[in-house]
């Protein structure tokens, strides 16, 4: 960080400041001092020379007066004590050199031939002086002194000291500045470091560390405060920006939805074959209604305002007015059916007017908008349907009546058949029995056989008639569906049959039979059939066995009757249930062949199925299913 700024960093600035101020002070002081010193030097030297000249002069008066150059010379030679004196000379009053002294003996000084005027002269690093020797106001001679006067050297000397001092002070400044920067540039750098971090990390929770309690400390405080404020502002801005973005997005969505809805409405309008209706709040047409004009053929003059009323069928105008009056007093959407004049078909057509009120933002009713849909076709269709229905019902009623009559006829027919047919059959059987009783003994074997045939056939005919009657009656009877206890039913039926059965004792196994829903008397007939069959066809076995059981699944119960009798040829199992179909000889196993057909009919009416399987000689199993009630 410090290096980045290089020479422009505060530290260096401080350093420079220090140096500069030091230097300034130094230079100014030095300048003044040096100048002073040099002045002093000159003055000192000149004063000294003056004094020496004076002394010399006075000392040399006698010499001069007595014209003793040797004494004068000795006097002058005293000046060798002073190394600065280059030469000293004494001139007479007439200006001739009386005595002279040169410091450097090797190279004696060239004395000026004549003394100059009194005074100091300076040239070439030398200062010389002429001073008149005056005794009692008589000029006796002139003293000439010449000294080294190296101003430059002195100046250099001074400057050297200055340089040394300057260096020292530089060092001192460096030290001081290093010490100072802890107090000045360090806090400042820390603040600027913090600032940079805040900027690079966008983290306004950072704070600069306050280490001093001065202007910089104040700066740090202010900086921190600013950061805090920035942080708050930034949060606020971000929040409001998000809210703004959100709003913008919503606005956009709404706009899109609106556009979409508008598009949809537009296409809907064009797609609908509905005549648009736009009326003012009192239900009158205030604007042009091209759709209305197209439909009714009314012109603008005719339909404007409430003129549209006359386009409706006169009988409907009344309830139209009422509906509008109601709607205007309490604005709400409504619909009504009426007949409207259609110009195209030149007649009134059935229509449905649907209209809804449109309110402005203040909740005031502005206008009514709606549509008129032509329901004439539908109306015509409905009428047709109604008519057809009526016709249909009538036809149904007629047909039902026919069927009922037919049914009744059939019923009375089969009733009378059964009754009337039975009577002669009874007579045949009965009288044949009588004959047998009265005269039977007188018949020979053949006669008895013939009579036996008559009797048995009569009996058979009786059974046939009974079965046929039951079979036909079944179709006419209404079934009474009730819960049936199958086990009890089978047990009672079997015991009844068993009592009548002649033959070897039968081993009867009854499994668990589930209850079911059905017509008990009809189901009893089924069991009678199946069980009597089982008994009949197993009667020739040594150990007849009959097994009754049931298997249930979710949809149905399957009941079965199994016997170990003679069975039947499975190739003929389709014929088993045909009316009068028999697969066995009547002589072996008597029967009318109606029983199974009857059972099938009953089971079918219960929505079940019946079938059988067999292995000839080993027995047969008859199955029937009854659907489960849910």
Chain positions 111 to 140 lying near another protein, rule: CB under 8 A, are: none
CA geometry: angle at 356 spanning 266 and 264, to 5°? 15
Interaction between residue 415 and another protein (CB under 8 A):
yes
User: Per CB under 8 A, which region of 111-119, 234-242, 352-360, 412-420 contacts another protein?
Assistant: 412-420
Does position 602 interact with another protein (CB under 8 A)? The reply is no
485 binds another protein (CB under 8 A): no
Give the chain's length.
630
- Please, which residue, 452 or 549, has the CB nearer to another protein? 452
Which range, of 198-206, 400-408, 454-462, 562-570, touches another protein by CB under 8 A? 454-462
| 453 makes contact with another protein (CB under 8 A) | no
Contact 352, 337 (CB under 8 A): yes
Q: Max CA-CA distance within the chain? A: 243
Contact 180, 214 (CB under 8 A): no
Q: Are 430 and 422 in contact (CB under 8 A)?
A: no
- Residue 330 backbone dihedrals phi, psi, to 5 degrees: -135, 90
The correct pick among 161, 392, 396, 423 for binding another protein (CB under 8 A) is 423
The reply on whether position 433 binds another protein by CB under 8 A is: yes
511 binds another protein (CB under 8 A): no
Residue 455 touches another protein, criterion: CB under 8 A: yes
Return the range that interacts with another protein (CB under 8 A); candidates 86-94, 162-170, 393-401, 450-458. 450-458
Which residues 461-480 are close enough to bind another protein by CB under 8 A? 461-463, 465-466
- Using CB under 8 A, which of the segments 157-165, 243-251, 346-354, 422-430 binds another protein? 422-430
The answer to whether residue 430 forms part of the interface with another protein (CB under 8 A) is yes
Rounded-to-integer distance, Cα 15 and Cα 171, Å: 10
Tell me the closest approach of the beta carbon of residue 503 to another protein, in angstroms.
17
Q: Where are the beta strands (DSSP E) in 456-574?
A: 482-484, 507-510, 516-518, 545-552, 556-563
Q: Confirm if 513 and 486 have CB atoms less than 8 A apart.
A: yes
8 A C-beta contact, residue 285 and residue 379? no
> From CA 563, how far away is CA 612, in angstroms rounded?
12
Residue 609 Cβ vs another protein, minimum distance, rounded to whole Å: 28
Is 434 near another protein (CB under 8 A)?
Answer: yes
CA distances in angstroms from 154 to 40, 42, 430, 486, listed in the order given: 11, 11, 188, 152
Q: Where are the beta strands (DSSP E) in 106-224?
A: 119-123, 126-135, 138-148
**Number of residues lying near another protein (CB under 8 A):** 23
> In this complex, which beta carbon is closest to another protein, that of residue 35 or of residue 415?
415
The strand ranges marked E within 59-211 are: 85-92, 97-102, 119-123, 126-135, 138-148
In this complex, which beta carbon is closest to another protein, that of residue 198 or of residue 465?
465
Stretch that binds another protein, among 4-12, 47-55, 415-423, 597-605 (CB under 8 A): 415-423
How far is Cα 166 from Cα 148, in angstroms, rounded to an integer? 29
- In the numeric block, the tokens 């100014």 are attached to 28
- Please, which residue, 195 or 461, has the CB nearer to another protein? 461
The residue within the footprint of another protein, chosen from 35, 66, 359, 431 (CB under 8 A), is: 431
The token duo for 49 is 């020379």
Instruction: Provide the token pair at 477.
Output: 């009877």
Complex with another protein: residue 188 or 523, whichever CB lies closer: 523
**Binding residue for another protein, selected from 192, 459, 552, 621, defined by CB under 8 A:** 459
Residues β-bridged to residue 507: 545
Site string for another protein, 347-376 (x = CB under 8 A): ------------------------------
Helix 445-476 vs helix 595-605: angle between axes, to the nearest 10 degrees?
Answer: 10
Between 35 and 413, whose beta carbon lies closer to another protein? Answer: 413
Q: Which residues bind another protein (CB under 8 A)?
A: 415, 418-419, 422-427, 429-431, 433-434, 455-456, 458-459, 461-463, 465-466
């Amino acid at each position: 960080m410090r290096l980045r700024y290089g020479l422009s960093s505060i530290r260096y600035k401080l350093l420079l400041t220090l140096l500069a101020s030091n230097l300034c002070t130094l230079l100014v002081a030095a300048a003044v001092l040096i100048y002073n010193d040099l002045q002093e030097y000159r003055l000192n030297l000149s004063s000294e020379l003056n004094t020496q000249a004076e002394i010399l002069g006075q000392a040399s008066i006698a010499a001069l007066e007595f014209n003793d150059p040797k004494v004068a010379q000795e006097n002058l030679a005293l000046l060798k004590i002073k190394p600065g004196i280059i030469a000293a000379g004494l001139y007479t009053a007439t200006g001739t050199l009386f005595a002279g002294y040169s410091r450097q003996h090797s190279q004696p000084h060239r004395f000026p031939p004549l003394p100059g005027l009194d005074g100091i002269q300076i040239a070439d690093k030398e200062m010389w002086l002429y001073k008149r020797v005056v005794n009692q106001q008589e000029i006796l001679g002139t003293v000439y002194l010449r000294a080294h006067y190296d101003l430059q050297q002195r100046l250099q000397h001074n400057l050297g000291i200055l340089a040394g001092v300057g260096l020292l002070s530089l060092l001192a400044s460096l030290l001081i500045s290093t010490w100072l920067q802890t107090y000045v540039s360090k806090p400042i750098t820390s603040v600027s470091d913090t600032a940079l971090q805040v900027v690079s990390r966008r983290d306004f929770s950072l704070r600069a560390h306050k280490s001093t309690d001065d202007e910089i400390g104040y700066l740090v405080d202010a900086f921190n405060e600013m950061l805090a404020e920035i942080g708050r502002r930034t949060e606020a801005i971000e929040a409001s920006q998000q809210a703004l973005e959100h709003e913008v997005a919503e606005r956009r969505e709404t706009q899109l939805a609106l556009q979409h809805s508008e598009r949809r409405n537009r296409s809907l309008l064009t797609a609908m074959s509905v005549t648009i209706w736009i009326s003012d709040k009192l239900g009158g047409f205030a604007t042009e209604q091209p759709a209305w004009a197209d439909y009714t053929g009314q012109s603008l003059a005719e339909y404007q305002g409430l003129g549209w009323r006359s386009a409706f069928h006169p009988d409907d105008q009344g309830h139209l007015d009422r509906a509008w009056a109601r709607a205007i007093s309490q604005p709400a959407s409504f619909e009504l059916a009426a007949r409207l004049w259609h110009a195209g078909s030149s007649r009134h057509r059935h229509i449905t007017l649907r209209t809804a009120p449109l309110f402005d933002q203040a909740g005031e009713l502005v206008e009514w908008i709606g549509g008129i849909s032509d329901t004439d076709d539908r109306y015509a269709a409905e009428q047709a349907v109604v008519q057809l229905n009526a016709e249909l019902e009538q036809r149904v009623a007629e047909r039902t009546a026919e069927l009922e009559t037919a049914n009744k006829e059939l019923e009375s027919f089969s009733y009378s058949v059964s009754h009337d047919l039975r009577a002669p059959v009874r007579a045949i059987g009965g009288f044949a029995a009588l004959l047998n009783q009265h005269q039977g003994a007188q018949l020979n074997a053949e006669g008895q056989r013939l009579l036996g045939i008559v009797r048995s056939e009569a009996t058979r005919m009786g059974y046939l008639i009974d079965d046929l009657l039951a079979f036909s009656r079944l179709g006419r009877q209404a079934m009474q569906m009730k819960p049936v206890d199958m086990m009890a039913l089978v047990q009672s039926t079997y015991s009844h049959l068993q009592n009548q059965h002649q033959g070897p004792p039968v081993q009867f196994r009854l499994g668990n039979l589930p209850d079911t829903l059905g017509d008990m008397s009809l189901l009893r007939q089924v069991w009678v059939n199946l069980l009597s069959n089982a008994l009949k066809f197993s009667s020739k076995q040594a150990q007849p066995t009959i097994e009754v059981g049931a298997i249930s699944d979710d949809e149905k119960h399957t009941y079965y009757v199994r016997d170990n009798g003679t069975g039947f040829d499975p190739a003929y199992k389709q014929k088993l249930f045909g009316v009068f179909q028999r697969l066995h000889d009547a002589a072996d196993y008597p029967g009318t062949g109606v029983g199974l057909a009857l059972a099938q009919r009953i089971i079918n009416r219960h929505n079940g199925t019946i079938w059988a399987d067999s292995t000839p000689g080993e027995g047969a199993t008859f199955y029937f299913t009854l659907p489960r009630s849910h």
